Structure 1
């Protein structure tokens, strides 16, 4: 973050950080600098107290107040779902252009954010990893920007259960989120609703597509799973960028539950703020092309540098438990089958059959490099 971007951020939240003029009062710029260092460097509150010559209680209060101020100002401007059908179609166009998956309006996933055991919480935050956590449920677009999030569910719950009870789940169920009306898939007469893409932890719905989960699936279903995984990969990379760039997630967060929620929301707001403001050079410093997973024209996957940054660390961001397939209505199963037929027919990708066969071990991997 250069000086210009820091000053712009300060101009947005400065009025919320001003205090009565007293001899010991820290300036809004100092409060923002302390908070950014805590989030980006992962320094403990004790270290910040020593570095800025403040009491620990003062640092704690500054972090709580500033993260809430950042969320209140940035969330409505930089982390908000599309407001109308036209904006949703723009998101879908991004997925079709970047990942060749039609009618996709977001990739969804949930992560457990580990924290210190809350007082008198008993087992409600106790997760399957035998640690304490709050769940972050998020949706991102094709360019690693978060567009919807739900923070605060207890770690003992599953992704699918959290989704069903969350505000975004309820809005998708009742249609109040204003997804576009169904339309034909590109260059076909196949009518298809617009939907999110998720993994096996989520229910199969008309507005949420997930992979085929049965064993020994047919080749065309494997191709569908491959194509869906390409679109869903963006949310994994978005979480990877978050964990790599904001070192507060390198270890369990030591704070109260409501402060942990503010910290999580604040980092996501700042993530989007950085990607959507400033010049291209600064944005590339935050997330260069090599930092995220890349797919060669032959389909070979090269893992992004964020994997190396966070590997081997007992970080605060962990996956939720994987769950088996759930029953779905016949109409929704037919919708997924129609999508499967599209990616194997009119929407076919070059080399997809060979890539899938290589990943299944049917043909040797070296054949991938011989593709024209």
Structure 2
């Protein structure tokens, strides 16, 4: 990040994270809070390893990182993550998809991401996913330029993408028509009306407002062409997390907030094979010993 961009971001977020100076002790400077939070998000470093370089205790870091992240959300949410609510807004996204990905009537690409975390107390296997670790699910909807336009954070790791989508407000609004999709119209070089929809991989069921690729078995030539052009693989298949590389790197490390993966000494490990039991010692005497009386 360039110094100019850092100063610009700090100028907007700084007033939200500035503390009043009292006789008790001097508060941390907003620049220190903001730089430390960016370092944690970009590298995924643990608080215990950062406390020596930043001279800030790990327990203080755990509070200020949450504070700065919430300040960033409050400052940039309405400006950066804008979900359209009008037919013109969704049509603009669909036109962009058709221009860049050659797939018409697409209003967004949907996919989920497992973010490693520690297991909350008394939750059993609720946050344990099929990949073998505890996680919360970040489900996002992106446009053709990898920009987030909707997000759902906090799904349990044991829940599938279909379960999280079925319980989301996005599905409810898309199916009851309150989301503001344009009216169905013909595809290019066709005359039959086709509705506007989201795209995803085969984890979410096919719906009038959700398009998925064909199964990989027994595909015809036309179905092969459809799957080749279906943007479910190049866009939502973790591509937006690679585009947002700090978030992607952080997602591969264990989160120190909220639900989390158990410590290494608590992770069940494959038991080592039991040592082969030793046979009882059987004394063997040489015939010469018996002759001499030994």
Normalising by structure 2, report the TM-score.
0.82
Which residue number in structure 1 is paired with residue 3 of structure 2?
3
SS in 2 for 1:233: coil
Which residue number in structure 1 is paired with residue 114 of structure 2?
112
Contact in 2 for aligned 1:88/1:179 (Cα 8 Å) = yes
Aligned-partner Cα distance in 2 for 1:80–1:133: 27
Note the residue ranges of structure 2 that are not aligned, 5 or more in a row. 262-294
SS in 2 for 1:235: coil
- Please state how far the C-alpha of 1:231 moved relative to its aligned partner: 5.5
- TM alignment of 1:1-372, pairs within 5 A: 1-22=1-22, 23-213=25-215, 215-228=217-230, 230=231, 232-236=233-237, 237-243=239-245, 247-257=249-259
Aligned-partner Cα distance in 1 for 2:180–2:206: 19
Aligned-partner Cα distance in 1 for 2:202–2:248: 28
- Please state how far the C-alpha of 1:34 moved relative to its aligned partner: 0.7
CA distance 1:149–1:124, shift in 2 (3 Å): same
Normalising by structure 1, report the TM-score.
0.66
Aligned length: 258
Deviation readout 1:168-195 (Å, 9 max, x if unpaired): 1222122221111111112321211111
Contact in 2 for aligned 1:39/1:246 (Cα 8 Å) = no
CA distance 1:231–1:213, shift in 2 (3 Å): closer
Which residue number in structure 2 is paired with residue 309 of structure 1?
none
Aligned-partner Cα distance in 2 for 1:231–1:136: 17
Farther off after superposition, 151-160 or 113-122: 113-122
- Please state how far the C-alpha of 1:120 moved relative to its aligned partner: 2.2
Query: Of the two, which has the highest radius of gyration?
Result: 2
SS in 1 for 2:235: helix
Aligned-partner Cα distance in 2 for 1:255–1:221: 44
Aligned-partner Cα distance in 2 for 1:242–1:118: 27
Note the residue ranges of structure 1 that are not aligned, 5 or more in a row. 261-372
Deviation readout 1:294-346 (Å, 9 max, x if unpaired): xxxxxxxxxxxxxxxxxxxxxxxxxxxxxxxxxxxxxxxxxxxxxxxxxxxxx
- Please state how far the C-alpha of 1:235 moved relative to its aligned partner: 2.1
- Please state how far the C-alpha of 1:64 moved relative to its aligned partner: 1.2
Contact in 2 for aligned 1:111/1:137 (Cα 8 Å) = yes
Aligned-partner Cα distance in 1 for 2:232–2:127: 31
Runs of 4+ in 1 over 6 A off after TM superposition: none
Aligned-partner Cα distance in 2 for 1:223–1:256: 43
Cα RMSD, aligned residues only: 1.9
SS in 1 for 2:198: strand
Which is helix-richer, 1 or 2?
1
